[in-house]
Structure 1
Amino acid sequence: MRIFRSLDAVTPPRRGLALAVGNFDGLHRGHRRIIRRLSREAEAAGLPVVLLTFAPHPEKIFSPDRLLMIQTLDQRLRALCKLGVESVAVVPFTKSFARMSADSFASGVLSSALKARLVVVGADFRFGAKRRGDAAFLEAAGRRLGFRTIAVPPLLEEGAPVSSSRIRTTLLSGNVEEAARLLGRPYEIEGDVVSGSGRGRTLGFPTANLASPNEILPPGVFATRLFRKGKTWNSVTNVGRRPTFGASEPSVETHILDASPLLYGAYLRLTFVARLRDERVFRSSRALAGAIRADIAAARRIFGRFGL
């Protein structure tokens, strides 16, 4: 997959491009529906495909702490590559770019710079200064500028659209099973294994402590799977502040079942299979150790149910 880090890096052919435009955070089932539609229409029209996305997310420019991303940009790009997307243009989203009018975006970016002949967006797509452009605006602009616009209706799940904002809310509540249903795959974080306090080892349950760049860390205790260089381990992971020991900084601590690989300094991927319980305060280390044993037993039952 080709990755263009600016609009200037894209050299569209004479016949033009088929584009999908959006943030695509999480690359959930609704996003994949848009990409499938783009691929079908582009193939029928004989047009090469470019997916146009933005970094950072537009909302991050004005409220950097308000929006938490489901994926890092690297995770998003790897997921798009797995889907078979030909090319991705990552537009640096700045305050000056945010001031661009909807008409200027349609004429200057889509039509002039990228020679769009087909543009596929979600039906709720908004663009341009103050989000004044929508799918209907884009359709009208396309008729004037020479590109066809397809607005893909939202994918509904239990009567509500599958959306990145819905998935963020679900993850922040710790409901990783529901998030996986909306995403179409388990939620995943990644990061480096760093040194920890060593309390897990003293309790008899050594942990790998993950320093993750991911912005959403679902709270609680989970059955999880750990991945590194083709190897996979079942695990139990605590995400939280270790209240029994008075810690305040959030941490990700994962105990690997039936193995003791040397992972310090390694870069790992961690997927969430199921939530086991809330994080809570225990009266003693002995009580905590007993809860961990119960967590491991529960996780084994879950892994067995899924054949993992």
Structure 2
Amino acid sequence: MWITSTPERALTPTAIALGNFDGVHQGHRNVIQPVLEQSVRSTVVTFHPHPREYFSGQPCSLLTPLEEKISHLKALGIQQLVLLPFNQELAALCAEEFVQKILIEQLHPHYISVGEDFRFGYKRQGSAQDLRAIASSYHVAVNIANLRTKAKERISSSRIREAINQGQVELAKQLLGRPYTLNGTVVTGEQRGRTIGFPTANLVLPRNKLIPCYGVYAVEVTSITYPLLSPHPAVMNIGMRPTVNGQHPTIEIHLLDWTGDLYQHSLSVQLKQFLRPEAKFESLEALKAQINKDCETARQLLPYPSSQPINS
């Protein structure tokens, strides 16, 4: 996939899927699929940084940080990704100027696809219908994709973020079309888990990845840097660890019935079910008893790999 943040360097002509595409969810795939069916180069045009980050001046927590978004778009078969630098100049363009100066003059589209809620131009004054009307004057067809599930529920990145923030793992999966996943690197932690019989891998995520709500999850773990680690059941805790007076939030993963050294390895963690909120226990013994219950619940929920657990 050709990736550029300079529209003048884009390979043309194009069939464009236009939007933010945070999450690359089911609705986004409704926007992207018609572009893949065109005879010219399939191209996703998105904004970087996310417009919300530009306008707020604050880092924006994303369902799919850029590297993860790229991976999903490649998997769909997109041939080109154009990252429009979202800055004051771009934000000031009216709808007509955006279509003419960015899309028509630089990207030479034969076809454009957007979601039904797409907004663009100065102060988001342009709608999907406006885009269709403006583009028609350049003889460019615009597809406006439906963004609803079969149950007529609207799919949006903000709805998925809300579900993840509330621990609604199954709803997030339905809207995304896949489990919500955390991709990160294992680093050395305080190693408290070893002292109570539950060693954990401490995961560090990209700085702008949306972290789910605090609590305990049943998860499934894979690794591209540790290929012997088949999809493996695990329990993940996200939070402050109040029982041991934790000073900062951590993401700790205990792989069930498995031993090994995962330091500096990259893990991919799929959220399968929210088990319980974070809680403070009266003693380490009470904490251990609850972790045992969490592990047993996860064993009942999650399949084990066909091979025996790995020991090293």
**Considering the TM-score relative to the shorter chain, is it more than 0.5?**
yes
Match of 2:65 in 1: 72
Equivalent position of 2:75 in the other structure: 82
Shift of 1:275: 0.9
1:110 to 2:103 alignment = yes
- Asked if 1:228 is matched to 2:223, the reply is yes
**How far 1:63 moved relative to its partner?**
1.4
Deviation (angstroms), 1:184: 0.7
Report how far residue 117 of structure 1 moved.
1.7
What amino acid maps onto 1:18 in structure 2?
A
The partner residue of 1:34 within 31, 34, 41 is: 31
Contact 2:30 2:146 in 1 (8 A): no
Mark the CA change 1:275 to 1:286 in structure 2 (over 3 Å): closer, same or farther. same
Question: What is the aligned partner in structure 1 of residue 153 from structure 2?
Answer: 160
SS at 1:274 equivalent? strand
| Distance in 1 (alpha carbons) for counterparts of 2:68 and 2:126 | 28
CA distance in 2, matches of 1:242, 1:157: 40
Query: 1:258 and 1:141 mapped to 2: Cα distance?
Result: 60
Q: Percent identity?
A: 36
Give the conservation status (yes or no) of the 8 Å contact 2:116–2:145: yes
1:249 deviation in Å?
A: 1.6
Root-mean-square deviation (CA, aligned residues, Å) is 1.9
Say which of 167, 170, 177 aligns to 2:163: 170
Instruction: Report the Cα distance in structure 1 between the residues aligned to 2:52 and 2:198, rounded to whole angstroms.
Output: 41
What secondary structure is seen at the aligned counterpart in 2 of 1:156?
Answer: coil
Structure-1 separation of matches of 2:234 and 2:190 = 19
> What is the aligned partner in structure 2 of residue 217 from structure 1?
211
SS in 1 for 2:238: strand
Q: Distance in 2 between matches of 1:225 and 1:168?
A: 20
1:56 maps onto 2:49 in alignment: yes
Q: Tell me, in whole angstroms, the C-alpha distance in 2 between the residues paired with 1:139 and 1:288.
A: 58
Alpha-carbon displacement from aligned partner over 1:113-164 (angstroms, at most 9, x marks no partner): 1111211000110011100111111111111122111111222364430110
How far apart, in 2, do the equivalents of 1:303 and 1:105 lie?
49
Q: Normalising by the residue count of structure 1, what TM-score does the alignment of the two structures yield?
A: 0.93
* Contact 1:111–1:147 under 8 Å retained in 2: no
What 5-or-longer segments of structure 2 have no aligned partner?
308-312
Q: Does 1:280 pair with 2:279?
A: yes
| Structure 1 residue runs without a partner (length 5+) | none
Residues 191, 269 of structure 1: 8 Å contact kept? yes
DSSP-derived class of the 1:161 partner: coil
Conservation of the 8 A alpha-carbon contact between 1:207 and 1:254: yes
Q: Which residue of 1 aligns with 2:310?
A: none
Moved more, 196-205 or 64-73: 64-73
